Amino acid sequence: MNTFRNYLSNRAETEGRVISSQENCEAHSFISEEGGISDEEKIRIVSQLIAYAHQVFYPRSRFIFLRSMLTILNKQRAVPNKEMAEALDMSDLAYRVAVYRMKQNVWHFRERLLKSETLRLDNDHQQMSNSINRDFTHLYPTLSRFYIQCIDSLKTSAAVNNLRQQYLEERGFAVHEPDIDGPIRSRIPAFWKKLSRWMAT
């Protein structure tokens, strides 16, 4: 356990991230006191959170983050972690470490926003945040667009695209793309709860 925590801590320092190394992070420690937060404030926080995470994560972590958000929104389209790890040329353990570290960063970012801190966004990501805030019900297609763009930034983009194509051929859909007859419209109360649960797992 100590070796695992030390590994996370060292990786965090390398990437300039803030990650908790406390032992046995339990589910309740991820869920903030949220009483009295309006839906408008939740949308503001989520908009900045997504844009900031997209800004600061490296391509592979950014891809895993976007994939996680799309999975929250459209769980039936999730690809098994083992297959995604292979497509990213990662071991199963390395992939789980990356997901763990990424979730802790996202939790930390959200905690800062809940305390009314400001996350510094560049112009492009401020526009991304504004776009999500203005039209939160279409969060899914917005993130899908960034997800596809992010694939192109990966060294393993061919493998990831091949995996998506494999799912299209075998199951009739591309990974993370919703059913044509059932477009996904995001609702902030449901998404907020799912985000909290995701960070707690």
Mean pLDDT across the chain: 83
The residues spanned by each domain of the chain are: 36-200
The pLDDT of residue 80 is 87
What pLDDT digit, counting tens, does each position of 134-169 carry?
A: 999 999 999 999 999 999 999 999 999 999 899 888
- pTM, two decimal places: 0.80
Buried b (16+ CB within 10 A) or exposed e, 71-93: bbbbeebebeeeebbbbbebeee
The pLDDT of residue 179 is 63
What pLDDT digit, counting tens, does each position of 3-44 carry?
A: 544 444 444 444 444 443 333 343 333 344 455 789 999 999
- 143 vs 114: CA distance, rounded Å: 22
